[in-house]
Structure 1
């Protein structure tokens, strides 16, 4: 059984590793084994796919190179958002009318399905269901959220714009021009959710092997053989669910995406006297700035405060100093409140900000590229992949078109620009 920390880097998973329930017992793959479906990757997509397949009676073995939730599933902010990052009306223009509206319907209902899975399997993950607030900064921000409101309302979504006064009351912060309240959404403890999905998948019959990175994938008869340092797995079909942290045979998934670094700081618990005025409804928030800020409360009243950037090298001190200044500006009463944890990860960004559906070879399929919206889309596309392999969802009804793999041009240079550009922005921002 593995009981090692998720990573050697203490800034990899921060508060979430500290407060999540323990993972279910797993072991590395040793020797040879077989499955109808092999899943590579122990994040939301892989775990959701495995759970849905096993519930339908399919023999599933999941291989995770590190530990459950090691990638984005254990590092993100914990917002259960509906839809994509894009404006809703932009999606059909990118994917075509049929696929675009399918994706919007699928992901518009994503938070509801995440919440239903949590309830059905009794997953302890600090779930809140009171929505999220997209906070408008200035006139341009207000126009943006008003456009989002109109586009989602035309599709029947329960979203509405709050005035500046309402936004101040809902957040306890002043200075925002308004906010878009999305009643479909909520928050959770992201690593706890991943570990809960793993427990549910194991209970349904999935075998999960952690510390089992796939080093090779070879055709064999009517199927495939996956090789890890400790063993081999023969499978008829494979789901690739490695996304932004991909290595090995599917490192091309990583190469297709730009890594946008994102960090979070978790404060000490907000003093009890202030809890009635700071996010009293416990909505998760993010703003309309290009270098955005996000914040939310966890179950123990810590404020989780984040933005674009990596906590390494010169970035650690720059972003920490900015976070203290920005938090004091947003909530003057919290000036001086200490930070308990700090961590960062990588958001995988595709060139057009929509996910990718790839067929890597005969009987090998995967979805990747969630562009900062991993919880709900990862869960939903895991179910989609399961339904497809079960024959319930034919090619013609898939929510995404199958596209060829394409490497992101100038990837290293653009990623350096993101990281050091965020440092430059935070070095000067929010000085009192």
Structure 2
């Protein structure tokens, strides 16, 4: 898929260098084997190592190769699903617990950044959910009313307040969530990896899982150069689970619909232009039918994203749409060019909530962050660490049987083709 091709990714280019890792060669034994070197797997490794357990991460490509190194970098609180809908789906007790833990998710992220001195452009000035039209105003007002019941510091802004905070044209209001913020996502992933290694974890890159087999009360995970034997296994591959080989547990990848998402980053904008655009550096996304997002980085680049895949057929359409959109939203931006562009996969579930499973004895997984990978990934990584340490109720959502979605392939194709069609015509007039 396009998400696996080498595209010029801003986050890869500007993050501090990854800690030194090697490919696994030989047979090793661990307390916990973790498959996947993104936010979830690295958070689990860090929290396990902090408790003195031998945690081994095997990553098919490189640290942050998947969604962790490709996303927008918004450290959001909660899930995309509105609080009332989440509680209706999960029930009052579990729903309120999940809302609390994920509402506090940004605090966990920023505390880890501070504790371990991560150089990852962490800014905690909130995020802005931008309203498109009157329907958008109603939506953000509903979200504010529902979050207020939990004491969340969220505020509805009118069109003029939104304009002042963003410098953007065409939005009818916004929801400002002061719990949230932005981060350089690849730098954060590499920071988690560095912290986990310092705590005693082991990370092997370019080490794809090929197969797994039961050996007594443990699991043997086979990789090209050797194996890891561990009593406990954490699968933290999310939308990139197809990169691993055939195991007894891969059915959980069949419950995810893949939503492709691209981003384009401009050249650094002149200071006099950048001063008028997101002066407090909030990250933004909108209520549009086909969502778009934008934010800036510390070099004053504008980073614009939307649904779609940058394959050979669609890249030109999405690039032209991104250029038109930036000019329309920020009419004073002047001349600019795109220096970086990349895409990735978002794992979507049928109820828009993460799915956690015990796939076999002592084998645990979580997937389906539905576009909210940074804070939930960090939270669920910590929860999975505590789960394998014997805390039965550590995960803030009920473990369920795997339920493959028979419509996942046509839905994924619809997102790709539908977004391309819409972007072909949007903002032309």
Distance in 2 (CA, whole Å) between partners of 1:22 and 1:341 is 18
Q: Deviations over 1:79-108 (max 9, x none)?
A: 000000011110111111111111100000
Structure-to-structure mapping, 1:189-200, within 5 angstroms: 189-200=184-195
Match of 1:357 in 2: 356
1:28 to 20, 23, 42: 23
Structure-to-structure mapping, 1:102-141, within 5 angstroms: 102-141=97-136
Q: Is the 8 A contact 1:82 1:185 kept in 2?
A: yes
Q: Is the 8 A contact 1:324 1:335 kept in 2?
A: no
| More off after superposition, 411-420 vs 153-162 | 411-420
Match of 2:217 in 1: 222
Distance in 2 (CA, whole Å) between partners of 1:270 and 1:407 is 45
> Secondary structure of 2:224's partner?
coil
Q: Deviations over 1:339-398 (max 9, x none)?
A: 11010001000011000110010011111110000000000000111122223x323x64
2:141 to 137, 140, 146: 146
> Secondary structure of 2:314's partner?
helix
Q: Does 1:263 align with 2:262?
A: yes
Distance in 1 (CA, whole Å) between partners of 2:363 and 2:198 is 25
Runs of 4+ in 1 over 6 A off after TM superposition: none
Q: Is the 8 A contact 1:259 1:346 kept in 2?
A: yes
> Secondary structure of 1:259's partner?
strand
1:254 is displaced (CA, Å) by 2.4
Structure 2 length-normalised TM = 0.97
Q: Is the 8 A contact 2:147 2:154 kept in 1?
A: yes
1:212 to 200, 207, 216: 207
1:18 to 2, 13, 18: 13
> Secondary structure of 1:430's partner?
coil
Q: Is the 8 A contact 2:384 2:395 kept in 1?
A: no
Distance in 2 (CA, whole Å) between partners of 1:174 and 1:235 is 55
Q: Deviations over 1:378-428 (max 9, x none)?
A: 00000111122223x323x64111111111112222111110100110011
1:70 to 65, 68, 73: 65
Distance in 1 (CA, whole Å) between partners of 2:44 and 2:4 is 28
> Secondary structure of 1:280's partner?
coil
Q: Which runs of 5+ in 1 are unaligned?
A: 1-6
> Secondary structure of 1:89's partner?
helix
1:335 is displaced (CA, Å) by 4.3
Alignment CA distance shift 1:133-1:323 (3 Å): same
Match of 1:426 in 2: 423
Alignment CA distance shift 1:253-1:361 (3 Å): same
Match of 1:406 in 2: 403
Q: Is the 8 A contact 1:31 1:232 kept in 2?
A: yes
Q: How many residues align?
A: 423
1:9 to 5, 9, 17: 5
1:313 is displaced (CA, Å) by 2.5
Q: Is the 8 A contact 1:135 1:286 kept in 2?
A: yes
Distance in 2 (CA, whole Å) between partners of 1:332 and 1:305 is 15
Distance in 1 (CA, whole Å) between partners of 2:343 and 2:188 is 18
Match of 2:295 in 1: 296
Distance in 1 (CA, whole Å) between partners of 2:413 and 2:216 is 44
Q: Which runs of 5+ in 2 are unaligned?
A: none
Distance in 2 (CA, whole Å) between partners of 1:346 and 1:320 is 18
Distance in 2 (CA, whole Å) between partners of 1:335 and 1:319 is 20
Match of 1:238 in 2: 233
What is the RMSD computed on CA atoms of the aligned residues? 1.2
Match of 2:85 in 1: 90
> Secondary structure of 2:332's partner?
helix
Match of 1:385 in 2: 384
Structure 1 length-normalised TM = 0.96
Match of 2:372 in 1: 373
Q: Does 1:417 align with 2:414?
A: yes
Q: Is the 8 A contact 1:244 1:253 kept in 2?
A: no
Match of 1:280 in 2: 279
1:59 is displaced (CA, Å) by 0.9
1:174 is displaced (CA, Å) by 2.1
Q: Is the 8 A contact 1:16 1:191 kept in 2?
A: yes
Q: Is the 8 A contact 2:380 2:395 kept in 1?
A: no
Distance in 2 (CA, whole Å) between partners of 1:177 and 1:221 is 61
Q: Is the 8 A contact 1:243 1:253 kept in 2?
A: no
